[in-house]
A and B are shown apart, each in its own frame.
Chain A
């Protein structure tokens, strides 16, 4: 269960090129991408933060839950996108839909993608907008429920396998290697 401040990014089809532009993909580490998150949107040409960008608003400071429009994370398969979001401090992303590869990449990094209906997400945008000094949500993976302190509550769907993996923090490679005999049998049947 996680409770945290919400940053609202009411844009649809946010692609991974926006989440982490290509000039930052040359690094060979998994960490340190947070300062480059949403780089072209977040900073002006002189390098100072763009006050008009949603994440730079005072009420989004310290946010750990990102609220966004549909098809979030479309485009490039770069896992640098969830690395940057997690490194910035996000623990969950709520949107009406996610791009396939991005969704998988988030789960691999303990960043929870929460799919709610378009209507529920619109309602959350309104609530976030009208909360003057920051808006908080609780995301409970155990009960698969999102709620706020003022009566909003909505269940979200996530497949059982992903949920287990996130809850138990299991190493997927380790899981697969338990099937070593089947993999070996598959290989020998084909050779």
Chain B
């Protein structure tokens, strides 16, 4: 048998038919079976409505899992939802889930949280599975060796009705991170460095497989951070072969198999890793030891630099088309070429999101914030990724660390990653953010976002400006 990649193995195990709609398997789409369909309030109401209009039902409610995250308030959960339009959207999901028999983790559930945080922590995310969700950051689940793709609402309806998705076979790209990163450099820096290298479209049409010593050394949380932002390079998905780190994370999760079933599952999962001679359509190698902390300066995640660099000049742009983008980005971000990134004043700090809202992210940030104070004039908020993350953080006293340092400690949701709730930037405000997108207006119209790691964001909160976290941590002595 031909050597196969992790992607090949997962793909081939899920093809229901490669003669879909009479199209032969010559690059045309196939019908792929979906093991887990994650649903949230924003991209699902029109899908359920579509089903109703066509007189169709939900085929496998047992393979569907819903929560509320995008539009929810991160304030007091004891209060009624103040935003009436958001309240209707939440109520719509609740009634759709009830009607279809879908498990929903609503606002009052101890398992509520960002959909890409709760899937893994409940053990719903499994190696070797196909996972979809009406959200582009579904790529997160690839950290477990799943093929996880973001889909639109029409496809959500399609999956609800058929438990299948129509997909054309993507190409594969190996992204190998060699070496050991320096202290203060982590998963977020690896992925931002990759997006800088590939650009926001460099991964288009590909599934990325992350390999190499630096990936193997990452925790599951770190791997999720890496896979989460695959979409920011334009990739269909990102994947990491499961290993002992994966199994240890999944053991004893609420939905994980038990006893003999667990042993059999692990045995099967071990077979998923790419074969030694497997071929990829493209390969990229990045020396992680050579990377410093990364921070975005512009209005897409490809516009990244090391914290020790300066704001680039449009003539540094890789192409003519990008030069225009650089001009616009510099104007929007109110930055002048040649300005050192370190020292840029920030007004706001956001710690959270499906990229960096997990326990290890909060620990990393708390390690920097402990015993220090948020700079005067800076508003810093911590939004745990889920109720479970929040409870675990509180159990080890991280909430006290943040509160004593002057951070706000809030309730779980997507929050200021996309600002669908009240957590938004005012026009002109500059924000150090652990989220995934620095698009114009993403965090609030006129808001200026710099993406970075949790440690870097915490350091920015303390110093009141972008700063190299390596110096801050050393300074502790």
Interface residues of chain A, those whose CB is within 8 Å of chain B, are 10-13, 15, 17-18, 21-23, 25-30, 40, 45, 69-71, 74-79, 82, 97, 99-101, 104-105, 108-109, 118, 159-161, 164, 171-173, 175-179, 182-183, 186-187
Contact = CB atoms under 8 A, between A and B. Distances in A.
A175 B21 contact: yes
A40 B441 contact: yes
Greatest chain A CB density within 10 A among B28, B56, B437, B439 is at B439
Given A12-B325, A74-B234, A100-B204, A21 B155 contact: no
B5 to A, nearest CB: 19
Interface in B1-38: 16-17, 20-21, 23, 27-29, 31, 33
B17 A75 contact: no
17 contacts: A11-B328, A13-B300, A18-B441, A25-B70, A26-B89, A40-B440, A70-B321, A71-B200, A79-B153, A79-B154, A101-B151, A159-B168, A172-B166, A173-B162, A176-B164, A176-B166, A187-B163
Contacts of A79: 43, 46, 134, 152-154
A71 B199 CA distance: 10
A182 B420 CA distance: 41
B21 A18 contact: no
Interface of B: 16-17, 20-21, 23, 27-29, 31, 33, 42-43, 45-46, 49, 54, 56, 70-71, 83, 85-86, 88-89, 92, 134-136, 150-155, 157-158, 161-164, 166, 168, 200-201, 204-205, 231-232, 234, 236, 300, 302, 321-322, 324-325, 328, 418-420, 427, 437, 439-442, 445
Given A22-B420, A186-B16, 16 more contacts: A12-B325, A13-B201, A15-B437, A25-B420, A26-B71, A26-B83, A28-B89, A75-B136, A77-B135, A79-B43, A82-B152, A99-B204, A159-B29, A173-B158, A176-B162, A183-B16
A69 B42 contact: no
Contacts of B231: 75
Contact of A17 (B17, B21, B71, B437): B437
Nearest to A26: B85
Given A22-B418, A26-B85, A177-B161, A108 B29 contact: no
Nearest to A97: B201
Nearest to B16: A186
Given A25-B42, A26-B71, A76-B136, A12 B154 contact: no
A108 B155 contact: yes
A101 B136 CA distance: 8
Contacts of A99: 201, 204, 234
Q: 3 tightest CB-CB pairs across the interface, nearest first? A: A108-B154, A28-B45, A105-B152
Contacts of A76: 135-136, 418, 437
A187 B127 CA distance: 18
A185 B420 CA distance: 42
A183 B33 contact: yes
B441 A21 contact: yes
Contacts of B155: 104, 108
B136 A77 contact: yes
Given A40-B441, A79-B152, A108-B152, A28 B92 contact: yes
Nearest to A15: B439
B153 A100 contact: no
Contacts of A26: 42, 71, 83, 85-86, 88-89, 420
Contact of B324 (A12, A23, A40): A12
Contacts of B151: 77, 101, 104
Nearest to A105: B152
A28 B46 contact: yes
A27 B201 CA distance: 30
A179 B16 contact: yes
B27 to A, nearest CB: 7
A12 B437 CA distance: 16
B201 A18 contact: no
B81 to A, nearest CB: 11
A138 to B, nearest CB: 26
A104 B43 CA distance: 15
Contacts of B442: 17, 22
Contact of B31 (A10, A97, A179): A179
Contact of B439 (A17, A160, A187): A17
Given A21-B445, A28-B45, A173-B158, A71 B201 contact: yes
Greatest chain B CB density within 10 A among A28, A29, A76 is at A28
B162 A177 contact: yes
Contact of A160 (B23, B71, B321): B23
A98 B419 CA distance: 25
